[in-house]
Amino acid sequence: MPDTRLIRTFLETHHPRLAEQASAFAMGEIAKRPEPVEDADARREARALLGLLGAGGWLQPILDLDLRGCCLIREALGEASPLADAVFALQGLGATPILLSGSPAQKDRWLGPIARGEVMTAFAMTESEAGSDVAAIATTARRDGPGYVLDGRKTLISNAGIADLYIVFASTDQAKGAKGLSCFLVPGDAAGLRFVGSQVLSAPHPLGEIAFENCRVPADALLGSEGRGYGVGLAALDRLRPTVAAAACGMAARALAESLTHVKQRKQFGTSLALFQLVQQKLARMATDLTAARLLTYRAAYEKDQGQERITSEAAMAKSFATEMAQRAVDDAVQLIGGRGVLASHPVERLYRAVRALRIYEGTTEIQQLIIAGELLK
Ligand SMILES: Cc1cc2nc3c(=O)[nH]c(=O)nc-3n(C[C@H](O)[C@H](O)[C@H](O)COP(=O)(O)OP(=O)(O)OC[C@H]3O[C@@H](n4cnc5c(N)ncnc54)[C@H](O)[C@@H]3O)c2cc1C
């Protein structure tokens, strides 16, 4: 269970109880679910997990703009099941742009069903030539009579093919680059929206490509105003990056817990592994790095919850530090557990496959470092 004493200066009175309940739910109900093997199973499981998260009220902190609450839940889910964590994360990425920039009608229509887990969302930004460089988005949205017509293709999209609602970034004025981007709400069953196919990841995660082919949407599908899409996207990512850091902390905490259990039980050379100093050094480093990452994470979330307009630097520090830390911690855990640690579906083997993507999605580590340096050099 996430240790809330460490971060208590950053929490409100309801948070420790939320952390306890989230951990009981994640370890009691989610962790025991078998890891899906095939992509089709992962897609079905993501839907089932969304139902559980919605029915349990776990998605409500997203709507309440309780960022520390979201971090506590992602920490608990990251510890129990990276797939469940991804399902939570995607609802955040779907709801947040609507919360921050939606019209009253858009909020009315979508937010309740998203929080109840009835509508699964996807955040469609990345394209083959527009990864870190979002301004290079080539999908277009052309004004046509009362609405827009979208054309283009998106890649590496989580929940592609199973989402009910896509938050789509497209250019309404290609000459303006980032300033010409706009954001649209496109229902999964819109005519002209096609699921191209799955992109299968090493860890279970519904990922894939979608195409817009003469896809007509009404004018009220526009989120915010024309040309504001880049701002809408960045504001959501800025807000949610501490939650990626929290998920990384949860995965690292699980790696540390599995390591501790193992080294206390396992005997080699006639004694417990826990007594070897090289083993202790790894444990000490994992615990120290995890502590530092959690402090950075909840500091960033605290600042946002206190009403700070932008937490650009705080969020980038938390995301880059925590995800790099989690990768090292999971790798150390596999090393400490030895051969059993690489056997399929050992908890640390699952983490090993899942943790890698966190350093890439929602802005790579290098992009976070550029953001931090940019703020320093302002
Ligand atoms: C599991 C997973 C889920 C994802 N889900 C989604 C999703 O739901 N929606 C979505 O829109 N996208 C999603 N993505 C895509 C993700 O956001 C992109 O992969 C990410 O932004 C990086 O883009 P890229 O892969 O094209 O890499 P590139 O941008 O090509 O980067 C490749 C390498 O170059 C480095 N690099 C790039 N620019 C610079 C620079 N200026 N200075 C220094 N180094 C640089 C990067 O840090 C990286 O190491 C997902 C990705 C993964 C792995």
Q: Which of 85, 90, 126 to mutate to test the pocket of ligand 1 (most atoms within 8 A of CB)?
A: 126
Statement: residue 25 has pLDDT above 90: yes
Cβ(120) – ligand 1 distance below 6 Å: no
- List residues bridging with 130 in a β-sheet: 127
Share of residues in the chain with pLDDT > 70 (%): 100
Would the CB of 207 count as within 6 Å of ligand 1? Answer: yes
Task: Count CA within 13 A, CB hemisphere, residue 91.
Answer: 34
Cα separation of 49 and 29, whole Å?
Answer: 10
For residue range 31-68, what is the model confidence (pLDDT) as tens digits? 999 999 999 999 999 999 999 999 999 999 999 999 99
Q: Alpha carbon of 158 to those of 65, 89, 94, 99, 222: distances in Å? A: 22, 10, 11, 20, 21
pLDDT (0 to 100) of residue 107 = 98
Is residue 132 in contact with ligand 1, taking CB distance under 6 Å?
yes
Instruction: Give the residue from 331, 139, 149, 311 showing the smallest Cα distance to 236.
Output: 311
pLDDT value of residue 139:
98
Instruction: With beta carbons less than 8 A apart as the criterion, state whether 253 and 207 touch.
Output: no
Q: What does the pLDDT look like over 168-199, one tens digit per residue?
A: 999 999 999 999 999 999 999 999 999 999 99
Question: What is the reported pLDDT for 112?
Answer: 98
Write down the residue that tokens 């996430």 correspond to. Answer: 2
DSSP bridge partners of 170: 182
Q: At what angle do helices 82-101 and 39-55 cross, to 10 degrees?
A: 60
Q: What is the pLDDT of residues 348-361, one digit of tens each?
A: 999 999 999 999 99
185 lines ligand 1 (CB under 6 A): no
pLDDT score recorded for residue 48 = 98
Mean predicted confidence (pLDDT) in 140-164:
97
Q: Residue 55: count other Cβ atoms within 10 Å of its Cβ.
A: 11
Ligand 1 centre distance from Cα of residue 360 (Å):
5
Amino acid 346: pLDDT: 93
Q: For the beta carbon of residue 202, count every other beta carbon within 10 angstroms.
A: 10
Q: What angle do CA 43, 44, 48 make, to 5 degrees?
A: 120
Please answer whether residues 43 and 50 qualify as being in contact, where contact means their C-beta atoms are separated by less than 8 angstroms.
no
CA 228 to chain centre: 23
Spacing, Cα 134 to ligand 1 middle (Å): 10
Segment 258-281 shows an average pLDDT of 98
The catalytic residues are: 362
Does the pTM exceed 0.85? yes
> Among residues 16, 3, 27, which one has the least CA distance to residue 77?
27
- Any atom of ligand 1 within 6 Å of the Cβ of 360: yes
E-strand stretches of the chain: 121-124, 140-144, 147-158, 165-171, 181-187, 193-198, 207-218, 222-223, 267-268, 271-272
Partners of 228 in the β-ladder: none
Mean pLDDT across the chain: 97
Helix, strand and coil percent figures for the chain, each rounded to 5: 60, 15, 25
Sequence-separated (6 or more) residues with CB below 8 Å from residue 250 = 2, 74, 75, 76, 77, 78, 79, 80, 85
**Are 296 and 315 spatial neighbours (Cβ–Cβ below 8 Å)?**
no
Sign (positive/negative) of CA torsion 187, 102, 297, 15? negative
How far is ligand 1, taken at its centre, from the CA of residue 202, in Å? 17
51 near 84, Cβ under 8 Å?
no
What proportion of the chain, given as a percentage, has pLDDT over 90? Answer: 98
Q: What count of other Cβ atoms lies within 10 Å of the Cβ of residue 172? A: 21
pLDDT in tens, 293-340: 999 999 999 999 999 988 999 999 999 999 999 999 999 999 999 999
Distance 133 CA to ligand 1 centre (A): 9
Give the model's confidence band at 3: pLDDT under 50 very low, under 70 low, under 90 confident, else very high.
confident
d(CA 273, CA 282): 12
Q: Residue 244: is its pLDDT beyond 90?
A: yes
| Residue 232 CB coordination number (10 Å) | 23
Residue 239 CA: distances (Å) to CA of 40, 194, 197, 235, 243: 31, 30, 30, 6, 8
pLDDT of residue 21: 97
Q: What is the pLDDT of residue 254?
A: 98
Tens of pLDDT, residues 61-103: 999 999 999 999 999 999 999 999 999 999 999 999 999 999 9
Distance from C-alpha of 54 to C-alpha of 48, rounded to nearest angstrom = 10
Confidence of residue 345 (pLDDT cuts 50, 70, 90): confident
The mean pLDDT value for 210-214 works out to 98
State the pLDDT at residue 206.
97
